[in-house]
Amino acid sequence: MRTYPIPLVPGPVSVPQAVREAYLTDYGSPDLEGDFFELYAACERQLQQILATQNDVTIHSGEGMLALWAALKSVLRPGDRVLAVANGLFGYGIGEMAAQLGAVVETVACAYDDIPDPVRVRAAARRFQPKLITAVHCETPSGTLTPLAELGTISREVDALFYVDFVASGGGVPVRVDEWAIDLGLLGSQKVLSLLPTLSMVTVSSRAWEAVSEVGYVGYDALAPWQDGPARRYLPYTHNWHGLAALHTGCQLLLDEGLAAVYARHEAVAAYCRQRLAGMGVTLFPRRAEIASPTVSAAHVPDGWEWPRLDAALRARGMAAGGNYGPLAGKVFRIGHMGNQARMELVEKGMDVLEEALKR
Ligand SMILES: *Cc1c(COP(=O)(O)O)cnc(C)c1O
Domains along the sequence of the chain with CATH:
6-13+259-359 (3.90.1150.10), 17-255 (3.40.640.10)
Reported as a pLDDT band with limits 50, 70 and 90, residue 293 is very high
Q: Residue 305 has what pLDDT?
A: 97
Q: Whose CA is nearest to atom 11 of ligand 1?
A: 167
With a CB cutoff of 8 Å and minimum separation 6, the contacts of 352 are none
Q: Does residue 95 have a pLDDT over 90? A: yes
Nearest CA to ligand 1 atom 12: 167
To the nearest 10 degrees (0 to 180), the angle between helices 259-279 and 344-359 is: 10
pLDDT grade for 38, boundaries at 50, 70 and 90: very high
pLDDT of amino acid 290: 97
What's the pLDDT at 139? 98
pLDDT at 31 over 90: no
Answer whether 137's CB lies under 8 Å from 175's CB. yes
* Per-residue pLDDT at 269: 98
The 10s digit of each residue's pLDDT in 316-341 is 999 999 999 999 999 999 999 999 99
pLDDT at 152 over 90: yes
Q: What is the mean pLDDT of the chain?
A: 97
Degrees (nearest 5) of the Cα angle 25, 188, 261?
85
How distant, in Å, are the alpha carbons of 72, 99, 160, 182 from that of 208?
Answer: 11, 20, 10, 10
Nearest CA owner, ligand 1 atom 3: 64
Pocket test for ligand 1, best of 66, 140, 169, 198 (most atoms within 8 A of CB): 140
- 294-306 average pLDDT score: 97
CB 192 within 8 A of CB 339: yes
pLDDT-above-70 percentage for the chain? 100
Ligand 1 atom closest to residue 191's alpha carbon, by position in its atom list? 1
Query: Quick one: pLDDT at residue 32?
Result: 85
Q: Taking CB atoms and a 6 Å cutoff, what residues make up the pocket around ligand 1? A: 11, 63-65, 90, 136, 138, 140, 165, 167-168, 188, 191, 197
127 Cα: distance to centroid of ligand 1 (angstroms): 30
Which pLDDT value is given to residue 335?
98
**pLDDT value, residue 211:** 98
> 186-226 pLDDT, tens per residue?
999 999 999 999 999 999 999 999 999 999 999 999 999 99
Indicate if the pLDDT at residue 299 is higher than 90.
Answer: yes
pLDDT at 360: 79
Name residue 173's beta-bridge partners.
170
How close is the Cα of 232 to the center of ligand 1, in Å? Answer: 31
Burial (Cβ within 10 Å: 0-12, 13-18, ≥19) of residue 333: buried
| Distance of CA 34 from the midpoint of ligand 1 (Å) | 32
Q: What Å distances lie between residue 67 and 2, 61, 99, 169, CA to CA? A: 31, 10, 17, 15
| Closest ligand 1 atom to Cα of 188 | 4
